[in-house]
Structure 1
Amino acid sequence: MIRLFDIVFSLLGLVCGFPLLVLIAVIGMFDTGSPIFCQVRVGRQQKAFTLVKFRTMKVDTASVATHLASSASITPFGGFLRKTKLDELPQLWNVLKGDMSLVGPRPGLFNQQDLTAARAARGVYDVRPGITGLAQVSEIDMSTPELLAETDQKMIQSFSVKDYFRYILLTVSGKGSGDRVKS
């Protein structure tokens, strides 16, 4: 059932949001010269997949977890995209392809060994990663790997269709701070 919702909503989002996606890409081209950001992330069953987002940081920024990046790397337009969560829109493509779900544990990087180990121990990789979830609306980010893995496990164990829509609505309404960047 959840996969069906993912397909329908991601397809609708990509089709209806196409003009906005194009506009953000054009503005992003002037902002960074490269509006799309692709990064290999840890997916379901710990398989690699390429996550697609709008670029919010300078092109030469190191590929590290967001909480390890410097806020000086975020462009002014990137700050707006992060605040409004519009930088996440291209991930609808990842959802449509089946790499991700709209709701699930945020996918980490392969160089986040503590997080990967904590999640593996808790069975978090048994499900598709998501754009949002309990940790995001609870403002828990990847800087606390054990707490994040515990929260992801809690979400998975009690997950329902009601939760699916609740986490999406909380995210759209601005709950959660998104990925935090050090100052």
Structure 2
Amino acid sequence: MATTIKGPAIFLAQFAGDKAPFDNLDNICRWAAGLGYKGVQIPTWVSSFIDLEKAANSKTYADEIKGIVNSHGLEITELSTHLQGQLVAVHPAYDAAFDGFAPASVHGNPKARQEWAVQTLLNAAKASKNLGLNAHATFSGSLAWPYIYPWPQRPAGLVEEAFDELARRWTPILNA
């Protein structure tokens, strides 16, 4: 099977920000091309880079996104749904921590959050098709993560609150 490498490529998520050249797709592509990159992986949760729902439902918009990237001599290697993909399978122990990757409208509601994540992944598949892509980067989530890996990072105060709760529950028993 023959393949074509589109790289070297760069994942744009870790550079996304509010200030140029990291504030929009055009600026960050110009920056990446200036560093010699040939491909970019676009994080779909960065709204200043792509409107995922619009790219899923409008071939014209997808062509505009592709045009911005191509105007800098770059190719889109894939779209990324790393953050949203994790929300497809969240262990209940991580509910609070993973809410941060979802819109506020589904916080505290694991079922709604999962439904949102699934729809987002379906939109990403449609957007990828509209962009002419045949590969995608994501994380699957994992119901086993609490047993093998500390991700995502714990919210500030979570461990302290757990110990405070242990103290509330055990103090009456220990006093007796």
Provide the TM-score with structure 2 as the length reference.
Answer: 0.27
Q: Tell me which structure has the larger Cα radius of gyration.
A: 2
Provide the TM-score with structure 1 as the length reference.
Answer: 0.27
